[in-house]
Amino acid sequence: MNLTRRGLLQQAALASTAVGVTPIAAADDLNRRPARRPRTIYFNDARHYYLYVFDPPMNLVDAWRPIDEVAGTAIDTFVYGVERGDGLFYPSKVGMRFGEDKRPFNFAAYWRAWQNIQSLMDQGLDPLKVLIDRAHQKDMEFIASLRMSSYGGIKSEFKVPEGGRGMAHQEVRDHQLAVLRELATDYDVEGLELDFAAAPGGMPPILRNEDTSEFTPVLTSYVAQIAEMVRSRTDRILQLGARVYPTEKMNLAQGLDVRSWLRQGLVDYVVPMFYLDFTLDPDMPFDWLVDAAHQKDVSVYGMLAPYVANEQTGSPVPVHADPEHLRAAAANYRNRDVDGLYTWFMKWPLGDAERRALTELGDADLITEADKHYILHRRSAQAAELGYDADLPLKIESADPGKRYKIPFSIADDVEQSAGRIRGIQLRISIENLVTDDRLSIRLNGKSLATESCRRDFNNSVSPYEGQQLAFELNSVLPRTGPNVLDLSLDSRPDGLEGGVTIESVELLIEYGPYPSVLNRTSG
């Protein structure tokens, strides 16, 4: 009998249960957990690059598009957002369908979504089942993702912005449990994903601040209830995943005691992310989560955000991550022992560059000695307010040679080991309000960059007068694998110029080739 990858994984999971796996949680039905495993995951939110886009009636070629556009790459798991907070994107028997409360429509995208769902139903097809079946035909597992504090069809006044108490309401928890049970029992999915990390950018707050202490244990019990429901299936094992915030403090502030979930074995995987900040962070602070999850054989999938800059970080428009950006963050995440990679919202329609990136993400060897572009994460004011901060932008108020400023970052590349294949390493520092007569002292891991070649350019092409970019060609002062520290001081300013400067961005580009960029390689 020939089994697909999906079938083999299910068979292995059932076999491990049959021979008896060491229990992680006390309840019998929480013990039926598959072990950690690698995954390469792509997410589609059902809307922006799918139901909102195509004019009805929807044919099967368009209906299959979310699956087919990633088929043939390394993507082995497809995650689908079944609701955005005001209705489900399938004909649910327990929840409200998207658009039910909006007719007649005054927005073409909403009209398309409703009509596309209806046109498939008129053909006797369930829109969700169409995607699930196509994923299985393309040898992908299918996981349904639900935003946990978003819902349609019950009282809107339960939501925190409307004066309600969010998931403190038993009615909200019961409603979401009913939707999850429907997905687990009526559809041939491989798992469910509880999206707790979409607040506040993509859904209302989970709880009011004043309810967090009281309802944190309630939410833990609720996740246990969902886990028990998911694992009550006897025909196959379903995965239960959760999107959570990057730091433990952020999670606890929202009533999410993720460490307890892991200790009790309630979830099979976790994804650290922050919906409010879509920018790629190669140094996302999730090490605590990896440590806690792996102690209990729970997988962690690193989320590769789709942009390197957007409105929240000061860019007038979103700037999509290139393959070089994704490689850099992916390599860092793998160095920090994630079990797989997860991405979404790539430049659409997906082209050759995007499909190449999705292929590379599934194989660490493909990105080890490949061009990388590390961009240090830049602060978003809203994100920082909620606990997800960054070192950039870094403001230096005035010239003071005795005051140094540190900017830590990490890289995955082994520059020393790969010296024979590295064409060049360039460190770029963009500094607002800088002039050529300013005197700076810049060091990398304690070594001065004064002797390294430095090329200056305009900070940007829109307002070139605002600052300068310093591009150092690193030859003798090199970054090291793992943690690095860039430190600098503004030593003096020219006569008549006061005030300070701001370090806006720091980037590290590593270019590989068949030969090194030196004339005579040092022996030894």
Kindly tell me if the per-residue pLDDT of 312 is higher than 90: no
Residues 441-470 have pLDDT tens digits of 999 999 999 999 999 999 988 899 999 999
- What confidence score (pLDDT) does residue 460 get? 87
Kindly tell me if the per-residue pLDDT of 519 is higher than 80: no
CATH of 391-512, one of 3.30.470.30, 2.60.120.1200, 2.40.50.140, 3.40.50.150: 2.60.120.1200
Kindly tell me if the per-residue pLDDT of 201 is higher than 70: yes
Question: What whole-number percentage of the chain has pLDDT above 70?
Answer: 92
Mean pLDDT of 482-492: 98
Confidence of residue 59 (pLDDT cuts 50, 70, 90): very high
Residues 313-330 have pLDDT tens digits of 888 899 999 999 999 999
Kindly tell me if the per-residue pLDDT of 25 is higher than 50: no
- Within a 10 A sphere around the Cβ of 423, how many other Cβ atoms? 14
In total, the chain counts a number of residues equal to 524
Find out whether the peptide bond into 23 is cis, omega within 30 degrees of 0: no
Task: Report residue 147 as tokens.
Answer: 């935003």
- Within a 10 A sphere around the Cβ of 427, how many other Cβ atoms? 23
Kindly tell me if the per-residue pLDDT of 191 is higher than 60: yes
CA-nearest of 445, 434, 451, 454 to 499 is 434
pTM summary value: 0.93
Kindly tell me if the per-residue pLDDT of 259 is higher than 80: yes
Residue 492 CB burial class (10 angstroms; 0-12, 13-18, ≥19): middle
The Cα 369–Cα 420 span in angstroms is: 11
CA-nearest of 377, 415, 372, 408 to 510 is 372
- If you write DSSP's letter for every residue of 143-199 in order, what string do you get? EEEEETT--SSS-GGGSGGGT--GGGSHHHHHHHHHHHHHHHHHS--SEEEEE-TTT
Kindly tell me if the per-residue pLDDT of 507 is higher than 70: yes
Kindly tell me if the per-residue pLDDT of 14 is higher than 90: no
Question: What whole-number percentage of the chain has pLDDT above 90?
Answer: 84
Confidence of residue 4 (pLDDT cuts 50, 70, 90): low
Name beta bridge partners: 81: 145
Residue 366 CB burial class (10 angstroms; 0-12, 13-18, ≥19): middle
- What confidence score (pLDDT) does residue 22 get? 34
- What confidence score (pLDDT) does residue 2 get? 47
Q: Give Cβ neighbours of residue 454 (< 8 Å, ≥ 6 apart).
A: 470, 471, 472, 473
- Please check whether residue 492 is in contact with residue 434, taking contact to mean a CB–CB distance below 8 angstroms: no
Which region among 55-64, 244-253, 514-523 has the lowest average model confidence (pLDDT)?
A: 514-523
Mean pLDDT of 176-185: 98
The Cα 80–Cα 87 span in angstroms is: 14
CA-nearest of 394, 467, 479, 391 to 443 is 479
The Cα 19–Cα 26 span in angstroms is: 18
Domain ranges of the chain: 39-371, 391-512
Kindly tell me if the per-residue pLDDT of 15 is higher than 80: no
Residue 436 CB burial class (10 angstroms; 0-12, 13-18, ≥19): exposed
Angle at 228 between CA 188 and CA 301, to 5 degrees: 65
Find out whether the peptide bond into 200 is cis, omega within 30 degrees of 0: yes
Instruction: Please write down the long-range contacts of 155-158, taking CB distance under 8 Å and 24 or more positions apart.
Output: none
Q: Which residues of 86-120 are buried (b: 16+ CB within 10 A; e: fewer)?
A: bbbbbbbebbbbbbeeeeeeeeeebbbbbbbbbbb
- What confidence score (pLDDT) does residue 230 get? 96
Mean pLDDT of 19-38: 55
Strands annotated E in 204-278: 239-244, 269-272
Residues 64-119 have pLDDT tens digits of 999 999 999 999 999 999 999 899 999 999 999 999 999 999 999 999 999 999 99
Class of domain 39-371: alpha beta
CA-nearest of 301, 213, 293, 214 to 261 is 293
Across the chain, mean pLDDT equals 93
